[in-house]
Amino acid sequence: MSDSPILTPLPQRIHNELAFRLITVKDKVLLASSFYRLTFSGDMLTGFSSRGFDDHIKLFFPDAQSGALLMPTISDDGIVWPEGPRPAMRDYTPLTFDTQNNLLTLDFYIHDRGVASDWAATAKPGDTLLVGGPRASLQVPCGYREQIYICDETGLPAMQRRLNDLAASQTECTLSLYAFADASVGEAYLQTALPLERHWLGSGLMHGEPLQNLLTVLQAQAPITEDYFIWMTGEGAAVKLLADKLLTTTSVDKDRVRAVAYWHAKTATSR
Ligand SMILES: Cc1cc2nc3c(=O)[nH]c(=O)nc-3n(C[C@H](O)[C@H](O)[C@H](O)COP(=O)(O)OP(=O)(O)OC[C@H]3O[C@@H](n4cnc5c(N)ncnc54)[C@H](O)[C@@H]3O)c2cc1C
């Protein structure tokens, strides 16, 4: 008889039908002094579905000058926008969706300056946005024996979703979080009774020596079991470096690593 452990199946991608929906701010609260939690309502949310903890939707913002919010149509030729400049678009995680009342909740991390962050900071009940998606969801089984999550503030909404899913599934696993966020913010933000080993690595420090130190920690311990899942998100160059190094210097399997750039630091040349 083989001694091979039974492994949890690999994550599976599923596709959703594309839809654009107008949503209206219903409620807004400040969370952990760094996030605005906005709850949106709207009849067009009927049929909205988000089945992956790190799903994203596209938010389209009103024109900064006119306040107009453009709405595309979906035809056989694809997405058709009205004439004129396209609206600004950003990705966000659907934190919760209440199907009975058509209520969608999103958490916006407030950073120095940006279309989405500024919009959320000044948003008030009655303001509208356009959302598209989620077009696809990655369904990540809860059962992996060892699970490692790496992110900054922008990944904490997905992390909270994952913790909710894990709690509901009553999975027994080793759970670690390495977050480039301040401990006071992270502890106030995340709500879970699960035994989560938390490492708060400081806000804005996902680069240079702190990033290298995390890589050294991961290289030393990865992977402990054969049944593991590693999730890494945050600033694009940092995520790429971590994923590339981990996959080329350890026996970690790329099919068990989910690495996604959540935002990109502007370099002198990209400004
Ligand atoms: C799949 C996915 C899910 C996401 N989910 C969430 C979510 O639920 N909540 C959330 O808050 N964000 C989330 N993000 C990240 C968010 O989309 C980006 O941070 C986005 O750039 C914010 O847009 P903005 O208009 O505020 O700033 P931008 O106009 O895009 O950027 C303006 C400036 O701010 C910098 N910047 C952007 N983001 C940050 C940051 N986090 N910290 C410091 N500087 C930054 C940029 O480098 C740029 O210099 C997600 C991203 C992805 C890809």
pLDDT of residue 135: 95
Residue 149, token pair as written in the block: 């999550």
Ligand 1 centroid to Cα of residue 39, in Å, is 19
DSSP state of 6: P
Average pLDDT along the chain: 94
Residue 192: CB within 6 Å of ligand 1? no
Q: Considering the domain 140-263, what is its CATH architecture?
A: 3-Layer(aba) Sandwich (3.40)
* Atom 42 of ligand 1, nearest CA residue: 111
56 Cβ inside 6 Å of ligand 1: yes
Question: What is each CA distance from 78 to 15, 17, 46, 73, in whole angstroms?
Answer: 16, 12, 22, 8
Q: How is domain 13-136 classified at the CATH fold level? A: Elongation Factor Tu (Ef-tu); domain 3 (2.40.30)
Alpha carbon nearest to ligand 1 atom 21, residue: 263
Q: Is the CB of residue 158 less than 8 Å from the CB of residue 54? A: yes
Which band of pLDDT confidence, cut at 50, 70 and 90, is reported for residue 225? Answer: confident
pLDDT single digits (tens) 165-214: 999 999 899 999 999 999 999 999 999 999 999 999 999 999 999 999 99
Check if 93 has its Cβ closer than 6 Å to any atom of ligand 1.
yes
Reported as half-sphere exposure (CB side, CA atoms, 13 A), residue 97 has a value of 19
pLDDT at residue 24 tops 60: yes
Task: Tell me, using a 6 A CB cutoff, whether residue 171 lines ligand 1.
Answer: no
Q: How far is the CA of 49 from the centre of ligand 1 (A)?
A: 23
Each domain of the chain, given as residue ranges in start order, spans 13-136, 140-263
Across 72-87, average pLDDT = 90
Q: 91 CA to middle of ligand 1, Å?
A: 8
Q: How far apart are CA 84 and CA 206, in angstroms?
A: 38
Residue 218: what residue type?
L
What residue owns the CA closest to ligand 1's atom 32? 114
> For 90-113, how does the pLDDT look when each residue is reduced to its tens digit (9 = 90+)?
999 999 999 999 999 999 999 999
The answer to whether 256 touches 232, Cβ cutoff 8 Å, is no
Cα–Cα distance, 109 to 271 (Å, whole number): 22
Mutate which of 262, 267, 270, 271 for ligand 1 pocket (most atoms within 8 A of beta carbon): 262
User: Between residues 225 and 140, which one has the greater pLDDT?
Assistant: 140
